[in-house]
Structures are given as structure tokens and as C-alpha cells.
Amino acid sequence: MLSMLATSAVQDDPRKRSCALPPVVADSRHPAESLGYVFILHNHPFENELSDFDIRFAVAMADVHGLTVTTRAGPVPLSIIAFFSKGHDTTQPTCDGFFQYIPATGQLIRWTSREGERWQRKQIATLRWLDDTNYRIQWQ
């Protein structure tokens, strides 16, 4: 299931741009229990780490849907994906990679690719929850 939500490209303050992903998907073509989040996708205009909001949203969705979604191929861990650009031209950003946070394992992964190459995966940190509201990121 793919859900596309967008913000206006003309919003006045990029720091305030956000979209409200629904906690559940209602699709009359499928039984409710057969639908679940696997990846929560969004983009960062320029390269930086996942935000506190990103991390907390992924955990909130894991609380609703569980840490994994069972598919025909087996269990798939829920993840939040944030695409980024290394470019400096705001009118023509490039897609140079993405960050992935996996609540089930706490892994923060950075995926990058050069033209014509395979995606390179590098774990950059591990996120450890100290209690229900506080966490620590252990950078690699």
C-alpha cells in the first residue's frame, strides 16, 4: 500500500512543513487486518540526520502496528525513511541517499549511491531508549 501526502512547495517556512500520516489505512478492497505500514517515507531537502519528530513518529506507528509487518515473504521490520540531497541548488535537488531508522533494532542506517553503482549501506548509529520518552543515540 502506498500513501502519498505532500505539502505545498510555496510554504513560507520549510521548518514548519509537515504532513499528517494517518495511523491506519482504510481501503474497502482489503480487510483492515491485512493492511499495515512497512516504510514511512518523507524527504529532507538537504543532508542531515533524522529529526526527533521522525524518530518519535516511527515509534508511535510501531506502537499502533507492531515492530514488524508479516508479508508473504515473511516479517518485514517497520522503518522510517528520509531521503536527502547533497546538492546546494534548491531548485534542482538530487536524490543522493536516504536515512533509515528501524525501531525493532534501533539501527540508524545511511544509504548512498553514486550514478550506476549499487546502494551502499552503512550503519551510522544505534538508538537506545532510556525510558518511555528519552533516548540516546550512540554514533558509530
Alpha helix stretches (DSSP H) within 41-114: 52-65
What angle is formed at CA 69 by the lines to CA 67 and CA 71, rounded to 5 degrees? Answer: 155
Model confidence at 94: pLDDT above 50: yes
d(CA 116, CA 129): 38
Does residue 25 lie in a domain region? no
Model confidence at 115: pLDDT above 60: yes
Model confidence at 50: pLDDT above 60: yes
pLDDT value of residue 15: 57
Q: What's the total number of domains in the chain?
A: 1
pLDDT value of residue 121: 94
Domain membership of residue 53 as a residue range? 33-139
d(CA 69, CA 23): 14
d(CA 42, CA 48): 13
In this prediction, residues 65-81 reach a mean pLDDT of: 85
Does residue 5 lie in a domain region? no
Say which residue, 6 or 104, is predicted with more confidence.
104
Does residue 11 lie in a domain region? no
Does residue 117 lie in a domain region? yes
According to DSSP, the residues that pair with 68 across neighbouring strands are 77
Say which residue, 98 or 25, is predicted with more confidence.
98
Does residue 95 lie in a domain region? yes
Name the nearest CA neighbour of 112 among 79, 87, 85, 77: 85
